[in-house]
Amino acid sequence: MKKANDHGKPDAGHGTVQHSGQKYGMVIDLDKCTGCGTCMVACAAENNVAVRADQTDKERTITWMNLYKITNGKKFPHTEVSYFPRPCMHCDHHPPCVSVCVATATKLDFNTGIVSQIYTRCIGCRYCQAACPYGARYFNWWDVFPQDKGMDRYLTPEVSPRMRGVVEKCTFCHHRLMRAKRQAYAEDRRELEEGEYITACTEACPAEAITFGDLNNSKHKVSQLIKHPYAFRLLERLGTEPKVYYLSSRDWVRRLADNFLPGEYEPVVNRTWAEDEWSTKPGRDRF
């Protein structure tokens, strides 16, 4: 049945507001993250990310979920290390990449909060890559197809592989949302349960550091976690309004999530990991 073009807006572009819809977001607990990289691998496997034989050129590899290693910069014995998984932030309201795309190949869907990428529309001008401060967008510099017979069977059937010349990025495993909605529809439901739609990285993380859900739904864990005093976002000052939140009890980690002039940063907790093993204290997740 042909739907009218609602331009992805909850009010169907007519100015009459209906219910606000979902706003899918993610909370990554950096105190739990061990830096194992399973999220990176799960993401690449789930989303048919092109992998070249030689991946050493980090400027041109495609890592929708990218793991950074950060350190507090102090010398032994005060050195602390943390790992920082960085998917696409799916910025809200006015994503820096959406407004600059020339061919409308990327859109913010106001009903789900997901910033989509349409590979068949993308002309590969890379303006969105220039605009994104997180480096979350990746360009296909090569054509990478499974070379050997039968190797294409490892591809996820619901995710289209990309040819060279187009930009791609984390989609919050949008195909899994489609799968969950189809399942719910078949079971005569219109609402998705929490956990019915989660991203591959959320599912794969062995430390359960990633939580995914609807930020607008007060019953979902993510909507509670983002109110935690330890919650912060990456480059919040720029006004991108990311939907990916981080939790850390360590102030030096929080300091590295944004730029601060001297005296601007206000500590939430003035303790280091070595000084106080905060996360093993009972009642840590209750606030």
- In the complex, the residues that contact other proteins under the rule CB under 8 A are 5, 7, 13, 57, 59-60, 68, 70, 84, 96, 99-105, 121-127, 129-135, 137-143, 164-167, 234-235, 237-240, 255-261, 264
Nearer to other proteins, 88 or 256 (CB): 256
Q: Angle at CA 235, nearest 5°, toward 66 and 83?
A: 35
- Please name every residue paired with 245 in a beta bridge, in sequence order, or none if there are none: 27
Least distance in angstroms from the C-beta of 25 to other proteins: 18
Least distance in angstroms from the C-beta of 128 to other proteins: 8
Nearer to other proteins, 204 or 247 (CB): 247
| Locus of tokens 């696409």 | 88
Of the candidates 177, 171, 175, 178, the residue with the CA atom closest to the CA atom of residue 195: 177
Least distance in angstroms from the C-beta of 102 to other proteins: 5
Nearer to other proteins, 122 or 210 (CB): 122
Nearer to other proteins, 223 or 240 (CB): 240
Nearer to other proteins, 10 or 195 (CB): 10
Least distance in angstroms from the C-beta of 158 to other proteins: 23
Nearer to other proteins, 22 or 140 (CB): 140
Type of residue found at 176: R
Of the candidates 285, 251, 246, the residue with the CA atom closest to the CA atom of residue 268: 251
In angstroms, rounded to a whole number, what is the distance separating the alpha carbons of residues 200 and 209? 13
Cis check for the bond before 87: say yes or no (omega within 30 of 0): no
Per the CB < 8 A criterion, the answer to whether 40 and 54 are in contact is no
Least distance in angstroms from the C-beta of 166 to other proteins: 6
Of the candidates 28, 20, 13, 59, the residue with the CA atom closest to the CA atom of residue 233: 28
Least distance in angstroms from the C-beta of 259 to other proteins: 3
Type of residue found at 152: D
